[in-house]
Amino acid sequence: MILQGTIVSKQTGLTASFEGQEQPYVLCVVARLEHPEVQSEVRIIGHTDIPQGVGDVVKVEVVRTITDRHAGVVRFDGHLLPD
């Protein structure tokens, strides 16, 4: 699945364990291009920062979807794709 949208917020320099290995990631909230009212939380794996900033469009290949039923939130892990 490809997720593409405008960055609403961005946190850099984060780390977490992905598939048993500690890796850097950037946490972004993205307003989807096809439905701007739908905002998705995306962890972009393998980067301490990305060149796109708040207000820029980002394109991410989703590798994992995480559903938090208690909070009613769907989060995505993915890799940054070129424009």
pLDDT tens for residues 11-50? Answer: 999 999 988 899 999 999 999 999 989 899 999 999 999 9
Fold of 2-80: OB fold (Dihydrolipoamide Acetyltransferase, E2P) (2.40.50)
- Pairing state of beta strands 39-45 and 73-80? parallel
Which residue in the block uniquely carries the two structure tokens 């972004």? 28
* Eight-class DSSP state of 18: E
Kindly list the domain boundaries of the chain, sorted by start residue.
Answer: 2-80
Instruction: Record the tokens describing residue 75, joined without a space.
Output: 């989060």
- Alpha carbon distance 74, 51 (integer Å): 25
Decide if pLDDT at 72 tops 90.
no
Q: Is the pLDDT score of 7 beyond 80? A: yes
